[in-house]
C-alpha cells in the first residue's frame, strides 16, 4: 500500500470541496511533479495551481498555456518563463542542472515545431540534454541518414510526425534506443486531425515503439524521463 510520504493527506487534512487537490507527492511516487494543463482553465486557476506547486517543488510546468495564462502566472511567480512556441510556462527555484541523460527529438517538418518544443521544454526542465533535429521527413531520406550518428548518441529518441506518420517506423529500424512516437495533427483531409499518423505509428512494422496521444509532446517527454531515470 501507499506509504504516508507518498500521499498529500499525510501532510494536511484534505478538504473535499477544494477544486484544486494538487498531488504534491507525485514526485516522490513517480519521479516528476504534477504539471498543470492550462487549456480550458482560467488564468486564475492556472496561477493558483502553479503557486501551490511552487511551494512543494523545485521546478514546475504548465502546458498549453496562452500568453494570458503566462501573464497571470508571472504576477505571482515573477521568475516564471513562457515559451510561446511550446506554449509552456516553467518556473525553477534554482538554476537548471544538467544530467548526463541525452535525448534526441526528430520531426518530419517545420509545422511540427510546437510539439517538438513542448517536449524539449519538458525534458530540459528534468535536466535532460536535448538534440533537436527537425525537418527530416521520409520524402528525403538522406536528410535523416546524414544525422544518424547524432541520433545514435541519444539514449532515447522522440519522433514527431504528422501526415502519414512514417518517420518512427524508419527510425525504429535504424537505432537500438527506445523510440517514442508522437503523432501530430499536421496535415489535412484524410489525416483526420492526426488520426492517420496515430494509426500508422501504432501499426509500425519496426517493433519497440511506444506511442503517445496526438500532439502530446509533454507526455512523450515524461516517458523519456521515466526511461532515463529507470
Distance (Å, whole) CA 98 – CA 4: 31
Q: Shortest CA distance to 194 belongs to which of 160, 159, 158, 162?
A: 162
Where in 92-151 is the site for a copy of itself (CB under 8 A)? 108-111, 113, 131-143, 145-148, 150
Q: Is 129 helix (H, G, I), strand (E, B) or coil?
A: strand
57 binds a copy of itself per the rule CB under 8 A: no
Distance (Å, whole) CA 47 – CA 22: 13
89 contacts 64 by C-beta, under 8 angstroms: no
Considering only 51-59, 67-75, 91-99, 220-228, which stretch makes contact with a copy of itself by CB under 8 A? 220-228
218 binds a copy of itself per the rule CB under 8 A: yes
Q: Which is nearer to a copy of itself, 35 or 70 (by Cβ)?
A: 35
Q: How far is the CB of 89 from a copy of itself (least distance, A)?
A: 16
52 binds a copy of itself per the rule CB under 8 A: no
Q: How far is the CB of 192 from a copy of itself (least distance, A)?
A: 7
Q: How far is the CB of 78 from a copy of itself (least distance, A)?
A: 24
Q: How far is the CB of 131 from a copy of itself (least distance, A)?
A: 6
DSSP lists the bridge partners of residue 82 as: 89
Q: Distances from the Cα of 37 to the Cαs of 69, 80, 142, 183, in angstroms? A: 11, 16, 37, 19
- How many residues at the interface with a copy of itself, by CB under 8 A? 111
Amino acid at each position: 500500500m501507499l506509504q504516508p510520504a507518498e500521499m498529500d493527506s499525510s501532510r494536511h487534512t484534505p478538504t473535499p470541496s477544494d477544486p484544486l487537490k494538487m498531488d504534491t507527492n507525485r514526485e516522490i511516487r513517480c519521479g516528476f511533479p504534477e504539471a498543470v494543463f492550462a487549456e480550458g482553465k482560467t488564468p486564475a486557476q492556472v496561477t493558483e495551481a502553479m503557486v501551490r506547486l511552487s511551494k512543494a517543488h523545485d521546478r514546475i510546468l504548465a502546458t498549453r498555456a496562452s500568453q494570458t495564462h503566462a501573464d497571470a502566472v508571472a504576477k505571482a511567480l515573477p521568475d516564471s518563463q513562457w515559451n510561446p512556441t511550446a506554449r509552456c510556462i516553467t518556473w525553477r527555484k534554482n538554476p537548471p542542472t544538467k544530467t548526463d541523460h541525452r535525448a534526441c527529438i526528430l520531426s518530419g517538418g517545420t509545422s511540427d515545431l510546437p510539439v517538438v518544443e513542448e517536449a524539449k521544454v519538458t525534458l530540459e526542465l528534468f535536466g535532460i540534454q536535448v538534440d533537436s533535429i527537425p525537418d527530416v521527413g521520409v520524402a528525403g531520406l538522406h536528410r535523416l541518414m546524414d544525422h544518424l550518428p547524432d541520433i545514435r548518441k541519444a539514449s532515447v529518441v522522440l519522433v514527431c510526425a504528422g501526415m502519414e506518420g512514417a518517420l518512427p517506423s524508419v527510425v525504429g529500424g535504424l537505432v537500438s534506443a527506445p523510440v517514442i512516437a508522437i503523432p501530430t495533427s499536421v496535415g489535412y483531409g484524410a489525416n483526420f486531425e492526426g488520426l492517420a499518423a496515430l494509426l500508422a505509428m501504432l501499426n509500425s512494422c519496426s517493433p519497440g515503439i511506444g506511442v503517445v496521444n496526438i500532439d502530446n509532446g509533454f507526455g512523450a517527454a515524461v516517458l523519456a524521463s521515466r526511461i532515463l531515470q529507470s
